[in-house]
């Protein structure tokens, strides 16, 4: 488990850029954290750096939205799902094992069915309104790439 900090939105964008550069077909990025922690904001930055031109908006009500940039991009918000059955109803496995990048908000809700090779980021509000603490865990290519990227990037160390 690794903890690092985002001082402001610019650093959240840097993290989004790093995540996009580590992503490949089949990458699963899990986001957790309270309402307003910054999950959708980070997702937008990941999409921006995958060259998605369409505006990415929160899929809280539609549950899942699909986009296309350098890679296919699937954005799901599990907040409103009441059971795993409801996740299967929206064909969650199609996104977990996909030909693109899958970003999942409120991933904790689906943890029983998530594979090992994913990265999980939990965002927490900090003392300053624009600051966030990030707790990162995971396994596999995406996790290793992010660990390396964070080491190379001084700004996340504060
Ligand atoms: N460093 C930062 N990183 C991310 N968001 C930030 C940061 N600083 C300020 N913010 C603001 O915090 C808010 C985060 O809202 P966002 O919708 O991304 O949260 P969320 O975690 O997706 O919430 P929800 O659980 O409702 O989906 C935005 O208004 C964003 O501009
Ligand atoms: Mg959100």
Take residue 78 and report the two structure tokens written for it. Answer: 């599990």
Distance CA 136, CA 155 (A): 16
Report CA(39)–ligand 1 centroid distance (Å): 6
The reported pLDDT for the residue numbered 158 is 64
Does ligand 1 lie within 6 Å of residue 38's CB atom?
yes
Show the low-confidence residues of the chain (pLDDT under 50): none
Domain range 2-150, CATH class:
alpha beta
Whole-number average pLDDT of the chain: 95
Measured between alpha carbons, how far is residue 155 from residues 5, 13, 27, 73, 88 in Å?
8, 12, 25, 27, 39
The reported pLDDT for the residue numbered 155 is 76
Question: Ligand 1 pocket check: which of 8, 35, 37, 78 to mutate, most ligand atoms within 8 Å of Cβ?
Answer: 37
The reported pLDDT for the residue numbered 61 is 84
> In the chain, where are the structural domains located?
2-150
- Strands across the sheet with 28-32, in order? 2-6, 132-138, 119-125, 28-32, 101-105, 72-77, 64-68
pTM (global) more than 0.85: yes
The reported pLDDT for the residue numbered 156 is 81
Report CA(58)–ligand 2 centroid distance (Å): 6
- SS3 labels along 95-127: HHCCCCEEEEECHHHHHHHCCCCCEEEEEEECC
The reported pLDDT for the residue numbered 131 is 96
Atom in ligand 1 nearest the alpha carbon of residue 41: 18
């Amino acid at each position: 488990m690794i903890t690092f900090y985002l001082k402001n939105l610019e650093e959240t964008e840097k993290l989004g850029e790093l995540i996009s550069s580590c992503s490949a077909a089949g990458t699963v990025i899990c986001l957790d954290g309270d309402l307003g922690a910054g999950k959708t904001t980070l997702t937008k930055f990941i999409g921006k750096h995958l060259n998605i031109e369409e505006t990415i908006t929160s899929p809280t009500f539609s549950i899942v939205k699909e986009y296309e940039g350098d890679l296919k991009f699937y954005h799901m918000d599990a907040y409103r799902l009441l059971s795993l059955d409801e996740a299967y109803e929206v064909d969650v496995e199609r996104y977990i094992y996909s030909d693109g990048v899958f970003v999942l908000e409120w991933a904790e809700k689906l943890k029983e069915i998530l594979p090992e090779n994913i990265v999980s980021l939990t965002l927490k509000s900090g003392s300053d309104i624009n600051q966030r603490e990030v707790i990162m865990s995971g396994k596999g290519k995406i996790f290793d790439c992010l660990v390396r990227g964070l080491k190379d990037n001084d700004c996340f160390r504060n």
